[in-house]
A and B are shown apart, each in its own frame.
Chain A
Amino acid sequence: MALLELKDVSRHFDVKAGLFGRVVQGKPDRKIKAVESVNFTLAEDEVLGIAGESGCGKSTTCLMIAGLLQPSSGDILYEGRALSQFSASDRQWYRSQVQMIFQDPYESLNPRFRVFDTVAEGPRALKMWPEPEIARRVEEMLQSVGLPPAKYAERYPHELSGGERQRVGIASALVMEPRMVVADEPLSMLDVSIRAGILDLLKDLARQRHFSCIYVSHDLSILGHIADRLMIMYLGQAMEIGPAHEVIRHPKHPYTRALIHAVPVPDPRTRRPVPNISGDLSRPIDPPPGCRFAPRCPYADASCRETFLPLERHSAVSHQAACHRLEALDL
């Protein structure tokens, strides 16, 4: 059984037209369809990468998985049970099972908390262990993320470098012994030379401590290096999912292909093909039915504009794309 399963999960936000707009201009309220009918499963000890541009719904998906946001429709199943059916005590237990690692290491640590207290906060809040046990685990955790407690436990965030801060963020997520970690762009604010170190740390810890990971990023090169499977999202819809190397080397969906062609390559001799895509990225406000990528897709036909073909949850093929025209295109 999968550890986590998303069944037709959607999340809409209402944008209220202002009083002036409503009364004088007769503007209706609008809906942002941030996430629309997303299906996927996450296996034990698996790293699933989610990639996409701004507004693709990857962060909203993360927040729903972490239980910080409720889906508007659809179900999120954890070990086969729907989060929406959880009792209060189940929810508290789930809080320790799923942890988040945040994007901005400068913003995600409380400036008034010392490193030790930051890492101890989760176990203390949930009263997971008695205080001496918490202290022991926190120190052990700090050691394993490469921050010897003797040197770092008493420091404040402003006394740490960006990489050290992100290590604190990782420690405070993993000290809870989660079975699933949701990492939202944990490297994007860090310098190139230290990114690989944090990436290695995450990989090593995932192996040692057996947790599954949802790793969200806009950077396909990094996802290619950490993810087992990769899902591509565009304006709230999941476009393609499959083994990471497979998706990057042989993308099926026209959007994935454009996205991969757009990634610069650190080799001055390489010449990339020009991404085959037109128009600009919009926002998922009152989107028309059908595939959201259709307006920019060079291959779109009438069927694409009318209906969207979401990814299947339990598909026999591991690599699938949400596209009507796959056979016709044979990308």
Chain B
Amino acid sequence: MKTIKKYFFRDIPSAMGTIISLGIILFMIIGPAATKYDPLEVDMGAKLVAPGASHIFGTDEMGRDLFSRLAYGSWYSMGTALAVVLLAAAFGIVAGGIAGYAGGGVYNVLMRICDVFLSFPQIFLAMIIAAAIGAGIGPTIFALAVSWWPNYARMVRGMVIVIKEKLYVESAKSIGMHPVRIIFRIIIPQTMSMVIPQITMGIGNALIAASGFSFIGLGAQMPTPEWGAMISQGSRYVFNAPYYVVIPGIFIFLSVLGFSLLGDSLQEATNPELKNI
């Protein structure tokens, strides 16, 4: 109980983060079961129906039920965000771990590569990649992960440099443990206290970036019910059906809010010295 309180219910923002995140996860699970409408089912007789009794969030320009689309779409949107962050983190951890442990030339080369990736606005890099391999959810995940891994690599590198001087790493070396095993079995698990809160916070940023991609037409394509694609489509009808833009946006807002507050809370619980940053 105490641990749960420490990690998830530290104060009001942390409790809010936990509750909102749980709410979003619940919506993902229960939402699709709670609706009788198919997210792709066209009903030309019910075009742009405002939210009401028959369609609680209204319908889109093809008469598709927005609640159903949001519920099924949550898997696309949240799935994309999670995949981006996990992929970027995995790659960043490996690169940062190796650079930090090896030092010297390997370190310099890997970190200069990071510099290049970090020195131009990430959306442009992602746009180029999306242009190169085509639009869609897969390319979006790849493009964002490629432009995000340096953030994780830098953070992990910094930690590894400190950890590798510790006595237990020395003793692992002295019993002849292989460097690869030292990095992955001993050092990297130590960095997780920093990485996991960052991943949680990153989900929110990834959600904004990925939905933005769909918004400009490089991400998920209609009729896939991804939230950003829905806003993009809805923006054409914003003046007569504002709910079509407003509601998916609120879902994105709440998800980002929930996961960033939760990430903050985990950060404070695991690294109290970083409080308030």
Do A and B assemble together? Answer: no
List B residues at the A interface (Cβ < 8 Å).
Answer: none
